[in-house]
Amino acid sequence: MTPEIMTVLMFLTLVAAITLGHPLAVTLAAVALLFGLIENGFNVPALLDLFVNNSWGIFLNYTLVAVPLFIFMAQILDRSKVSEGLFDALYIVLGGLRGGLGLAVIVVSTVFAATTGIIGASVVAMGLMAGPALLRRGYDRGMSAGIVCSSGTLGILIPPSIMLVVYGGLTGLKETSVGNLFAAAILPGLVLSGMYMAYVLIRCGFNPKLGPPIPMADRTATVGQKFTMTAKNFVPPFGLILVVMGTILAGVATPTEAAALGCVGSLILAVAYRKLTWTVITQASLSTARTTAMIMALFIGGKLFSVVFLFLGGGDVVADALLGMEVSPYVVLAIMMLVVFFLGMFIDWAAILLVVVPIFTPIAMELGFNPLWFAMLICINLQTSFLTPPFGYALFYFKGVAPPEYTMGDVYRGIVPFIVIQLVGLALMITFPQIITWLPSVFFG
């Protein structure tokens, strides 16, 4: 069969297997095995040699050591309840504004995103804390769900993000090193957070019923008390962020070394908050092992899939189809972004990265695009995958921990404006690439 037919059949088989509900890592590896055997005439030893050589390269990738370290740091911070004190403080400081409690959720989620890098931890923590609080204060259920889910997804973009570590380990390009990706993601993450806050402030300003301010009777804290509460609960996690990110951006430590430093810092914070127990350490370690195993299994399955796909000539088929179009390079970019957005509705972000990055990155470079800028566009686009039905993970994380008053209809209704905001943000990054490229140029030239 021709490479074109094999390419189409391989993708259709993958989609069909995922639709049937099979585990994603096993599905990727199985599809790779099937089409690899078909292509090489069922030469099993040769295919196994190909698989072993490429899988072994993953485990030799020093950058990926940062993955379990950042996950462990996130788990310790999650269990030390760092975000709870910050949420209570900001609730008092901002609660007098229309939509103020929603703004507090977004600010806390932004800070929490910079200390965890994991979507599940951010959305679950804020769902447990803010979900009932927003409901008690009369916030619209759709607005509340949208605020928690969308701000929680910032954890996959704002450094130290596991997705950025995985991306940096995938490409092997100097331009898309983990340090460059971390620097490039800071401003886009803050811009998106600011856009969420502006939306909540404007919507609730015109319609206070969506997010009423807290009653005057509850506004008893003095200015000094507000300042003390905020400083006490904001400075420790923010200091940890500065230490982890500062050592990377200053070139003092590699991302892996900075991740280890972050683990030590998270343990110190847990001691300071009197939350460090043997149970916390055991649960954090087990959760880290499970999450790391899941990510590495996906990594291997995705690697095998991409190796066979390129072996079949699928990469050339896609490149020829896109580069052969007599259109503006930005039309081709829009097509690639649309493909990533569509895949995000059905497939986990790790699998998407492992499938599309080896195919799309050479095309982007052929079109003359900055690989760091292009990488960040993919990562921003993938943030929407946690919100887009039918398989938006953030939606199910929130529904799983939210009070029963929140229906799935409320959740779906509430996230639509925030998906639009994210797409507007993506368009903003395309139009003004300096938002992405400025900080890396400052720190790394």
> Please, which residues have CB within 8 angstroms of residue 386's CB and are 6 or more apart in sequence?
119, 149, 153, 156, 349, 392, 393, 394, 395
**Is 289 contained in some domain?**
yes
CA 387 – CA 396 distance, rounded (Å): 9
> DSSP of 121-149, one letter per residue?
HHHHHHHHHHHHHHHHTT--HHHHHHHHH
Closest listed residue to residue 376, CA positions, set 150, 149, 178 = 178
Count how many residues are written for the chain.
445
> Please, which residues have CB within 8 angstroms of residue 34's CB and are 6 or more apart in sequence?
13
CA 253 – CA 244 distance, rounded (Å): 9
> Please, which residues have CB within 8 angstroms of residue 210's CB and are 6 or more apart in sequence?
99, 139, 140, 143, 203, 204
Straight-line distance from the first to the last Cα atom of the chain, in angstroms, rounded to the nearest whole number: 48
**Is 33 contained in some domain?**
no
**Domain boundaries, position 362:** 63-444
CA 82 – CA 115 distance, rounded (Å): 10
> DSSP of 132-194, one letter per residue?
HHHHHTT--HHHHHHHHHHHHGGGGTSSS-HHHHHHHHHH--STT-HHHHHHHHHHHHHHHHH
Which is more confidently placed, 71 or 281?
Answer: 281
CA 399 – CA 404 distance, rounded (Å): 8
383 within 8 A of 339, measured Cβ to Cβ: no
| 327 φ, ψ (degrees, to nearest 5) | -135, 175
The percentage of residues in the chain with a pLDDT greater than 90, rounded to a whole number, is: 24
**Is 57 contained in some domain?**
no
Pull the structure tokens for residue 57. Answer: 């390269």
The model's pLDDT over 94-149, given as tens digits with 9 standing for 90+, comes to 767 888 888 988 988 888 777 766 676 678 777 877 888 888 888 899 999 999 99
Which is more confidently placed, 337 or 108?
Answer: 337
pLDDT at 418: 94
pTM: 0.82
**Is 248 contained in some domain?**
yes
**Is 14 contained in some domain?**
no
**Is 20 contained in some domain?**
no
The model's pLDDT over 41-72, given as tens digits with 9 standing for 90+, comes to 888 888 888 888 777 777 777 777 887 888 88
Closest listed residue to residue 348, CA positions, set 303, 393, 304 = 393
CA 71 – CA 288 distance, rounded (Å): 6
**Is 345 contained in some domain?**
yes
pLDDT at 194: 95
**Is 31 contained in some domain?**
no
Q: How far is CA 435 from the centre of its chain?
A: 18
Beta strands in 304-370 (DSSP E): none
- How many domains does one find in the chain? 1
